[in-house]
């Protein structure tokens, strides 16, 4: 029996293992969150709500059908923190690992830079990589907790409460979970730029992709050793530029679109921080320093598209991912110019990656559009509210116009599925539902058709 | 001077020639429509309106900022009819011709079936093809005019009026222009299933693609000659199945989504015809037997996606085109299953066509989304009204929730641009704005990046 199970596990594809991990994590989380010690006395919540919160925490989305601060005890808060900590890191680690595994045929030199240990494809290599990820994330989270916790001393009556808020806020920001135990997201810190800057940095470190963090570490190690052979991988360059580009674009868009609206009566620094923070939140962080219902529909539409793009691959974020978006842009540009190959940073992109990026984007649009149509039927909310909720779930951002607690059962299922797909990544999802491929040797003559 | 111009024309790419044709057609149309005889006494309309109507007619979209029946004289109606007749056929003919020209390296056998004459790439071949197109369309239109005109005798006081309505309705349906001189689209015939069926058949013949019509003609000619070697091209098979599939999907979707809403108090045949006609109109026809504002937002969203897909390539329609949509679906399915090549009807699709279909779709989504965001800022209308207008313009369907006459100047320009892009086709548009390609021989090492 156990032998059979092990055999089965050995035969699983990476995609199936990630999905299995996800489902097991959700299952365990539901059990943990349903423990009587987790909820405040007198609170009764349904199994569906527990499933929703568990799926939201494992996928580090942060959407929730219940108010966290009114539902959970301090123990409950830490159980939730534990869930999104491992949900976020687990899938990121597995994803990064499998990418290294799958990508082993090419770019050996580049990978060597990412992983100092040559043995990373074996079990010991995986354990080592997990350790590196955990170590880096933990260091970031501890520093974040100290920076925030000490600041919170001026917000909360006791130092225990300040520290609990600090730890929760740091882990929630770093894993991009976006949960809050303030009861009002980051609104209490709407004028505390220190807290906002720390949170933005933490969210960015979590969402920019684990390989980027490792390479930056390698870069400094190599500089110290005066080894000048180090070179950042194409992935790191593309994802970092896209990430920062989207952050800037989002900030400018919000500033521009809201200048006569929400930001009309704000000072320049208030306006800048409102725009910057909400732009950063769309990458994957999901926290907000204001009630986003106050934004105009146009701003919300732009935020939808930013959340849809999401964060870096191999990060704690979701969406179609920054690289997918960048490759789409590069491809459209080069295709329009009639170029045969796409050159960037003195490297050429592979056809396979380009096709993958196109597939992911179209598939994501189809999924989000279908979800929007379904929710438009099952829910009694406006189009923009639904579109925003769908984009937020798929991008695992967790921002919401407030309709989450009012979702119908079908609506909850759809959002749970979107969070799952967004988090695991469409490529993994497609590999999971897909078969092993067509190995027949039958070939037919090629024939062209008229396009567009 | 003239010599220089001829030299320049000879150096133009097919894409540039189509765009030139389009702009010249719009220019001439504006001049014609601004003739005093075209408008009813006392009517004053702006140059912008004339430009809009001309662009709408040349692109056979049918959106209009002025009421046609209240603005134009009978002469004006015929000028308009003349414009959309040549707008529709011209670009379709040029598109088909250039596709044959560009596609000449492959599928010679298939093309031979499409064009009996081997010489179609020369000027004489082009003239011959134009004649075939004109002949087929004219036959269809004449039959349509007779079928509709005789029926209209019971609607209009004089036979002249009935015949004018018949001719206009037939040409407008066949070219999928979607203009009406009834003043209320097809609403007067909401219970006349004969008129509706004739209109649907005419719209379908115009929108299903010229190569399909030619192949069907060839099929019957070959059958008559007992020549059993005839085979429908892959293009014809894919586009016809997709076209009919979308028609059925649209009908069922409207029936389902409106059963407790607009169709609640209708008999089964009324419901069926309302659903069928409006579904057919989204392919490209743009006529309506009811006020589409009565549909629910969900139905309107589904119609947006249907209009976005549009009609067949080399037809009078617009959108991303049926084949693009079909190739997307096929590709996503086969990619998900891990297949290397896409086989259908015992043929394989080329990688180039697949990539083109993905590019067109993503580009179209980006363009329509951007247009929606712009219009959301410049216009004072709801998201669904704007999305519907944008989809309708890009798909050159011409259905509208009624916001066209209220568009701002920027709004009108955006819609004109969308009609143009939708009609000319994104592939042609990309080829037009694009350069000649990167001919440098520099090659860089390939490097993979993490996607999705
Ligand atoms: K999140
Ligand atoms: K039309």
Q: Report pLDDT for B133.
A: 79
Closest partner CB to B321 (pick from A209, A355, A452)? A452
DSSP state of A104: G
Helix (H, G, I), strand (E, B) or coil at A446: strand
Written as six digits, the tokens of B161 are 């009026």
Question: Are residues A355 and B357, on separate chains, in Cβ contact within 8 Å?
Answer: no
Residue B427 with chain A: CB contacts under 8 Å: 451-452
Q: How many domains does chain A have?
A: 1
Q: Are B72 and B38 in contact (CB under 8 A)?
A: yes
From the CB of residue A100, how many other CB atoms can be counted at a distance below 10 Å? Answer: 21
Question: Are residues B347 and A446, on separate chains, in Cβ contact within 8 Å?
Answer: yes
Question: Does A348 map to a domain?
Answer: yes
Question: Are residues B449 and A297, on separate chains, in Cβ contact within 8 Å?
Answer: no
Question: Does A65 map to a domain?
Answer: yes
Residue numbers of the domain that contains B324: 10-431
**Residue appearing with tokens 């030299």:** B7
Angle between helices A426-433 and A351-378 (to 10 degrees): 90
Q: Report pLDDT for A284.
A: 87
Size of interface A-B (CB pairs under 8 A): 240
Q: Report pLDDT for B20.
A: 81
Q: Are B357 and B328 in contact (CB under 8 A)?
A: yes
Q: Report pLDDT for A201.
A: 94
Q: Report pLDDT for A116.
A: 37
The residues, any chain, with a CB within 8 Å of residue B99's CB and separated by 6 or more, are A450, B313, B314
Q: Which residues fall inside 5 Å of ion ligand 1, going by CB?
A: A 62, 176, 178, 286, 398
Q: Report pLDDT for B388.
A: 94
Helix (H, G, I), strand (E, B) or coil at B209: coil
Question: Are residues A338 and B437, on separate chains, in Cβ contact within 8 Å?
Answer: yes
Question: Does A440 map to a domain?
Answer: no
Q: Are B233 and B345 in contact (CB under 8 A)?
A: no
How many distinct helices (H) and strands (E) make up chain B? 18, 2
d(CA B162, CA B195): 13
Q: Where are the alpha helices (DSSP H) in B289-425?
A: 297-309, 322-336, 351-378, 383-394, 409-424
Ligand 2 centre distance from Cα of residue B173 (Å):
8
Question: Does A204 map to a domain?
Answer: yes
How far off is chain B from A141, nearest CA to CA, in Å?
25
Task: Residue B93: name the closest of B227, B209, B239 by CA.
Answer: B209
Helix (H, G, I), strand (E, B) or coil at A72: strand
Question: Does A442 map to a domain?
Answer: no
Question: Does A72 map to a domain?
Answer: yes
Does residue A95 come out as left (phi exceeding 0), alpha (psi in the -120 to 50 range) or beta? alpha
Q: What share of chain A is helix, strand, coil (3-state, %, to 5)?
A: 70, 0, 30
Ligand 2 centre distance from Cα of residue A7 (Å):
60
* Cβ burial A173-184 (10 Å sphere, 16+ → b, else e): bbbbbbbbbbee
Ligand 1 centre distance from Cα of residue A173 (Å):
8
pLDDT in tens, B370-380: 999 999 889 98
Find, in chain B, the residue whose alpha carbon is nearest to that of A395: B452
Question: Are residues B447 and A349, on separate chains, in Cβ contact within 8 Å?
Answer: yes
How far off is chain A from B50, nearest CA to CA, in Å?
28
Residue B388 with chain A: CB contacts under 8 Å: none
Written as six digits, the tokens of B92 are 């379709």
Q: Are A61 and A130 in contact (CB under 8 A)?
A: no
Q: Are A32 and A38 in contact (CB under 8 A)?
A: yes
Question: Does A67 map to a domain?
Answer: yes
Closest partner CB to A443 (pick from B337, B348, B425)? B348
How far off is chain A from B315, nearest CA to CA, in Å?
11
d(CA B317, CA B128): 22
**Ranges in chain B, pLDDT < 70:** 1-14, 94-127, 225-230, 340, 430-452
Ligand 1 centre distance from Cα of residue A100 (Å):
25
**Residue appearing with tokens 């098979």:** B237
**CA-based angle B204:B207:B211, to the nearest 5?**
110
Task: Residue B21: name the closest of B310, B432, B435 by CA.
Answer: B432
Question: Are residues A348 and B257, on separate chains, in Cβ contact within 8 Å?
Answer: no
d(CA A31, CA B233): 58
Q: List chain A pLDDT tens, one digit each, 452 residues.
A: 566 666 666 666 667 777 888 888 899 899 998 888 888 888 888 888 999 999 999 988 989 898 888 888 888 888 998 888 888 877 777 666 666 655 443 344 444 444 433 334 455 566 677 777 788 888 999 999 999 999 988 888 888 889 988 999 999 999 888 888 877 788 888 888 999 999 999 999 988 888 888 888 878 777 776 656 667 788 888 889 999 999 999 999 999 999 888 888 888 888 999 999 999 999 888 888 888 899 998 999 999 999 999 998 878 888 999 989 998 888 888 877 777 677 788 777 877 778 888 888 888 999 999 999 999 889 989 999 999 999 999 999 989 898 998 899 999 999 999 998 888 887 777 666 655 544 455 566 666 566 55
Query: Which run of H or E residues covers position A344?
Result: strand A343-344
Written as six digits, the tokens of A404 are 């989450």
**Residue appearing with tokens 């075939």:** B132
* Cβ burial B180-206 (10 Å sphere, 16+ → b, else e): bbbeebbebbbebbebbebbbbbbbbb
Residue B320 with chain A: CB contacts under 8 Å: 452
> How do beta strands B343-344 and B347-348 pair?
antiparallel
Ligand 1 centre distance from Cα of residue A419 (Å):
10
Written as six digits, the tokens of B178 are 């979607």
Task: Residue B434: name the closest of B358, B373, B363 by CA.
Answer: B363
d(CA B51, CA B209): 27
Question: Are residues B427 and A451, on separate chains, in Cβ contact within 8 Å?
Answer: yes
Instruction: Select the residue from A311, A342, A365, A451 to test the B interface by mutation, using most B Cβ atoms within 10 A.
Output: A451
pLDDT in tens, B68-118: 888 888 888 889 888 888 888 777 776 666 666 554 433 444 444 444 333
Does residue B7 come out as left (phi exceeding 0), alpha (psi in the -120 to 50 range) or beta? alpha
Question: Does B443 map to a domain?
Answer: no
Q: Report pLDDT for A440.
A: 53
Task: Residue A330: name the closest of A343, A347, A345, A346 by CA.
Answer: A343
How many distinct helices (H) and strands (E) make up chain A? 18, 2
Q: Report pLDDT for B301.
A: 92
Task: Residue B143: name the closest of B82, B92, B205 by CA.
Answer: B205
The residues, any chain, with a CB within 8 Å of residue B440's CB and separated by 6 or more, are none
């Amino acid at each position: 029996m156990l032998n059979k199970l092990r055999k089965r596990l050995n035969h699983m594809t990476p995609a199936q293992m990630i999905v299995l991990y996800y489902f097991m994590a959700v299952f365990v989380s539901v059990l943990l969150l349903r423990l009587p010690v987790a909820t405040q006395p007198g609170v009764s919540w349904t199994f569906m709500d527990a499933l929703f919160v568990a799926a939201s925490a494992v996928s580090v989305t942060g959407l929730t059908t219940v108010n966290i601060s009114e539902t959970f005890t301090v123990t409950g808060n830490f159980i939730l923190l534990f869930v999104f900590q491992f949900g976020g890191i687990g899938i990121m680690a597995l994803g990064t690992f499998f990418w290294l595994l799958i990508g082993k045929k090419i770019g050996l030199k580049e990978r060597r830079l990412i992983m100092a240990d040559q043995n990373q494809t074996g079990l010991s290599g995986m354990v080592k990589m997990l350790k590196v990820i955990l170590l880096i994330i933990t260091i970031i989270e501890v520093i974040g907790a100290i920076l925030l916790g000490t600041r919170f001393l001026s917000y909360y009556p006791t130092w225990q409460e300040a520290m609990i808020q600090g730890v929760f806020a740091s882990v929630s920001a770093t894993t991009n979970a976006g949960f809050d135990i303030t009861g009002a997201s980051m609104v209490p810190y709407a004028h505390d730029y220190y807290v906002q800057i720390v949170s933005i940095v933490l969210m960015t470190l979590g969402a920019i992709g684990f390989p980027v963090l490792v390479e930056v570490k390698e870069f400094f190690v190599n500089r110290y050793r005066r080894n000048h052979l180090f070179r950042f991988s194409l992935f790191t360059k593309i994802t970092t530029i896209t990430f920062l580009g989207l952050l800037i674009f989002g900030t400018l868009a919000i500033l521009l679109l809201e200048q006569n609206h929400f930001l009309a009566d704000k000072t320049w620094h208030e306006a800048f921080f409102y725009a910057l923070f909400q732009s950063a939140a769309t990458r994957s962080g999901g926290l907000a320093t204001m009630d986003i219902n106050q934004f105009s529909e146009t701003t919300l539409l732009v935020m939808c598209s930013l959340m849809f793009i999401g964060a870096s691959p191999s990060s704690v974020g979701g969406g179609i991912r920054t690289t997918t978006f960048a490759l789409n842009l590069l491809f459209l540009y080069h295709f329009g110019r009639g170029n045969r190959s796409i050159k960037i940073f003195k490297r050429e992109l592979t056809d396979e990656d380009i096709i993958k990026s196109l597939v992911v984007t179209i598939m994501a649009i189809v999924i989000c559009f279908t979800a929007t149509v379904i929710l438009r039927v099952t829910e009694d909310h406006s189009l923009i509210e639904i579109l925003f909720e769908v984009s937020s779930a798929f991008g695992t951002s967790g921002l919401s116009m407030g309709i989450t607690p009012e979702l119908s059962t079908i609506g909850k299922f759809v959002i749970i599925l979107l969070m799952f797909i967004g988090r695991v990544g469409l490529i993994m999802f497609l590999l999971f539902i897909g078969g092993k491929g067509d190995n027949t040797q039958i070939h037919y003559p090629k024939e062209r058709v008229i396009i567009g």
